[in-house]
Structure 1
């Protein structure tokens, strides 16, 4: 098999993951919902692995194709020497191309750098918005203890609760305290405490910063939509272990009656996460979790794709790193 064939196969796997990753994530949902923490870690790692594989595909193409260099001669010679030193394929197998090899190196790396820069800007914007939310809400609320946890109670007729992270804590509305019984309110606070304790805000910052500029890619969009859902399930399970199923399920059903208003508020708050997707679906996961075997095939397919990307990406980046460390640029 020629190096160009291998390069095209690598590109094909990257494109296949971008397109097929979304339906596979949906197919694997019953399995992922039973292991929400593992699902979040796996999906986040899969996204970063896919981005690394985009750069690896560029390396494969640069090794397999030669063409005119837009660089000045000394720089072009150094670039070619590095490519030759890192190329794990046999020499003399490269095909001629009208596209300079440096394009296959620079374009993927530049794209990933742009995504990282845009994502970082988005994170900073959400952080500023969070600080503004804390400054506006906390002074106007009163401190109260619910289930042994200190929360800020704000005047709002809508029954809502959300975590503002470790710096600002948990906020609940007067409407929530009026709509729920004491055990139900404690269950809601335990849910939000799990968000704070497990640093779900930081996880969402990382995921949203990476997926924001990549929403047009089905795989990235599916991860962006799935991770918040699995974080909610993880927080539900934590609250369930502490207060039991009945009060949490009852609270979810009550709060689900106005879930549309809370989703709108959550989008406005940015990084602040309320108890989203309340109601029958969340209750069903508490009372009768989905059979994980239903999603086994989808999960296995995702693992297979990720394994291919790990092997090929490691080979590409490992060879390039070894060449650089050996002094190919000197």
Structure 2
């Protein structure tokens, strides 16, 4: 196989995944929901592998370039030897009229985009969570409920969500305490504690940061949309093991009622209230400070009850989930096949 054919094949595979990936994720979701923690990690990695495979096109195209003409003569000779030593194809059937340094810069740009996106995400979250945490501490009381530490807001709206421990941890409202039975409350606390113990906020920060500048790609967008659902189901599973299905399902129904105001009635006079859908769309606000939607993981969600009761999954779902895993493995193999020859060439002195 020539470098030209390999480039065309990889480009086709990436394009197919970019456009068809959302469909595959939707169809595989019932099977993936059976192993939600693994699914969240694997699906996140699949998005990162797609990005890595995209930038791997650069080193692949470099094997077809006409040479690093932009470099000084001595450096150009070294680069040319490294390209020749790295190429597993020998002479390509096609030679592009661009300097090799141009496609070789693509991995650097890709890594830079990932790192800058991650840095921006960290800064955004720290600022918004710090501001929100300050408002939350002023508008809530710290208490111990059924052996768990929590903050209780003073509103009647149904609220049950979690933030990273240093910014508030488990947050409930007085309305939630009044609405839930002791068993339901225990289930909600177990759900939110699972978010904290399993570091779900960190997973969301990594996913949203590293894919920030690639979120316009349909497949990456679908991954960013699906991972929070798997994290919620993972927390449901932990709560189910701790308290049983009945209590958790009953709590989810109460917290997930369509017209229940949730999440945003936190700071007196500054936050307002809204339905769950409105809160999800707008993000969480306290006195004008917006908290990104993915920074909050909450218990509401009656649609997840079917996962609790073990609803049967479509027969094709498991096969499609396996296909998604095989695709991720294939991308990893392609990335290694492109980049390892360069690494070996540099380590051997070309």
Q: Tell me, yes or no, if structure 1 residue 171 matches structure 2 residue 175.
A: no
CA distance in 2, matches of 1:272, 1:117: 19
CA contact (8 A) 2:191 2:299 kept: no
Pick the structure with more helix per residue: 1
Residue in structure 1 matched with residue 277 of structure 2 by the alignment = 260
| 1:35, distance to aligned residue in structure 2 (A) | 0.5
**Unpaired segments ≥5 residues, structure 1:** none
| 1:76, distance to aligned residue in structure 2 (A) | 2.5
CA contact (8 A) 2:161 2:299 kept: no
CA distance in 2, matches of 1:181, 1:276: 15
CA distance in 2, matches of 1:70, 1:311: 32
CA contact (8 A) 2:37 2:230 kept: yes
Classify 1:320/1:67 alpha carbon distance in 2 versus 1 (closer, same or farther; 3 Å): closer
Over aligned residue pairs, what C-alpha RMSD do you find?
A: 2.0
CA distance in 2, matches of 1:233, 1:128: 28
Which moved further from structure 2: 62-71 or 10-19? 62-71
Classify 1:261/1:8 alpha carbon distance in 2 versus 1 (closer, same or farther; 3 Å): closer
Q: Tell me, yes or no, if structure 1 residue 37 matches structure 2 residue 37.
A: yes
Which moved further from structure 2: 211-220 or 285-294? 285-294
CA distance in 2, matches of 1:69, 1:276: 59
Residue in structure 2 matched with residue 12 of structure 1 by the alignment = 12
Counterparts of 1:282-293 in structure 2, within 5 Å, are 282-291=304-313, 293=315
Three-state SS of the structure 2 residue aligned to 1:41 is helix
Deviation sequence 1:267-308 (CA, Å, 0-9, x none):
8422532426612x1111112334264412321321232232
| 1:265, distance to aligned residue in structure 2 (A) | 4.6
| 1:42, distance to aligned residue in structure 2 (A) | 0.6
Counterparts of 1:117-128 in structure 2, within 5 Å, are 117-128=116-127
Counterparts of 1:126-275 in structure 2, within 5 Å, are 126-167=125-166, 168-257=168-257, 258=260, 259-263=276-280, 264-266=282-284, 268-270=290-292, 271-275=294-298
Classify 1:165/1:152 alpha carbon distance in 2 versus 1 (closer, same or farther; 3 Å): same
Q: Greater relative contact order: 1 or 2 (C-alpha under 8 angstroms, separation 6 or more)?
A: 1
Residue in structure 2 matched with residue 278 of structure 1 by the alignment = 301
| 1:262, distance to aligned residue in structure 2 (A) | 4.1
